[in-house]
């Protein structure tokens, strides 16, 4: 029984890894966009 739960856990970790890999590109784009927006806001505030 212990082996079965270990296998299930491994499968979940592998699936999570795939999901992270799929999402990482979109997250990078979103992160970059947020940084640009923050820069824009700070530029406006400093004027």
pLDDT tens sequence across 16-35: 777 666 666 777 888 888 98
Residue 44: HSE in the Cβ half-sphere, 13 Å Cα cutoff: 6
**Mean local confidence (pLDDT), 5-21:** 80
Model pLDDT, residue 13? 85
Q: Which CA distances in Å does 11 have to 18, 20, 29, 30, 37?
A: 11, 14, 28, 28, 38
Residue 25 structural domain: 1-47
Model pLDDT, residue 20? 67
19: tokens are 């999901």
Contacts 24+ apart (CB under 8 A), 23-31: none
41: tokens are 């806001």
pLDDT: which is higher, 31 or 46 = 31
Assign 43 a pLDDT band (cuts: 50, 70, 90).
confident
For the full predicted model, state whether its pTM sits above 0.85: no
**What is the domain count for the chain?**
1
Instruction: Give the integer Cα–Cα distance in Å for 47 and 35.
Output: 19
């Amino acid at each position: 029984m212990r082996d079965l739960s270990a296998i299930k856990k491994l499968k979940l970790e592998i699936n999570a890894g795939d999901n992270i890999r799929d999402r990482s590109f979109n997250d990078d784009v979103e992160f970059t966009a947020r940084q640009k927006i923050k820069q824009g806001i700070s530029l406006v505030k400093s004027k």
